[in-house]
Amino acid sequence: MKKISNLVTNHLAFLIVSSIAILCLLFVILGKPTESGYITLNGEDAKIEEYTEKFIENANDALYRVMNEDKPTDEETIKANEKLEGLGGSTTLNTIISRRLPDGNNDNGRGWQCSKYTAYLATGKREYSNAHPDYGPVNGKDIANWLVKNYGWKYIETPVEGAIGSGGFNTTYGHTAMYLYSTGSNSAMVNDANYVPLTISTHNMNISGWVWVVPDDYTPTPLPDPTPSTNPEKPVSTCNTWKLNKGDTLSKIMQACKGYVDWSDMNNYASHWYSTYVRPNQSVYSGWNSGYGVGLYAGDTIYYRE
């Protein structure tokens, strides 16, 4: 009886294994591999998760673009651009400005994410991703650092025309733009992409918290020495320049130069005094509104300019 039981058990195990093997063989014979490697039956994929993921990815891409955010590059592009480290390069602000494209340009339908456009302005290179031709080399908020790291650019406290900036450090992708001119203490006219999705645009923008970079060989144009007035009705001021000592304040300077302190006119008065050595060509007012919040530096010489 025990022998019969063992015989049945052995045959049952054999039948189960054989059945599974036959089913697998039929699945392979009748199924058809797709390009992605999944088996299909009756023309339909046996695994649908990939399509769900693709749908979510595409929906997110569209959402990011509507929100005017830059999309990071794919892994292949990131690895390719890692080779750029230490590449160096030489350009000028005039060259950068000359590459500016007209508003509405969409790169023949390929599109301009913000980082792709400023990277093009800085380097002259248009393509960074074959898979996503509208993507740039890095996120918008990383463009300034990317130019410093790979092309030898340098940070500048007060932007000038042609400077490339990065902002939005508290967001996922941030933004980047080319500076044109100031429109206020924390605003500027800029030229960028993605303001109108995937096209070029020139517009006014808040630049609070932004950082700006310029080519390493950039040097500010020195301002001419102030020329004394020859108008006899308007005597030459004895306060054209001021050697700053520790503890000096602008109210002290106003008192010495004008004989009074007018706090309502202090911002205007500060906008006429400029640094000579520590922050060349930066006004005291701009210094107050910079990231450092300092307008007067001990040891510096400031000069008054109408």
Domains, in order of start, for the chain: 68-214 (3.90.1720.10), 241-304 (no CATH)
- DSSP-assigned states of every residue in the chain: -HHHHHHHHHHHHHHHHHHHHHHHHHHHHH-EE-TTS-EEETTEES--HHHHHHHHHHHHHHHHHHTT-PPPPPHHHHHHHHTTTT------HHHHHHTPPPTT--TTTT---HHHHHHHHHHS---S-SS-TT--SS-GGGHHHHHHHHH--EEESS--TT-EEEE-TTSSS-EEEEEEEEEETTEEEEEEEEEETTEEEEEEEE-TT-EEEE-TT--PPPPPPPPPP--TTSPPPS-SEEE--TT--HHHHHHHHHSS--GGGHHHHHTTEEESSSSTT-BHHHHHTSSS-----TT-EEEE--
pLDDT higher at 31 or 165: 165
- pLDDT at residue 74 in the model: 52
- Report the chain's mean pLDDT, rounded to a whole number: 76
The proportion of the chain whose per-residue pLDDT surpasses 70, expressed as a percent, equals 65
- pLDDT at residue 276 in the model: 84
* Band of residue 54 on the pLDDT scale cut at 50, 70, 90: very low
- pLDDT at residue 166 in the model: 96
Q: What is the pLDDT of residues 122-150, one digit of tens each?
A: 999 988 888 899 999 999 999 999 999 99
Task: Tell me the average pLDDT across 220-232.
Answer: 61
- pLDDT at residue 51 in the model: 39
In the predicted structure, residue 278 carries a pLDDT above the cut 60 = yes
Task: Tell me the average pLDDT across 254-271.
Answer: 88
pTM (2 d.p.): 0.51
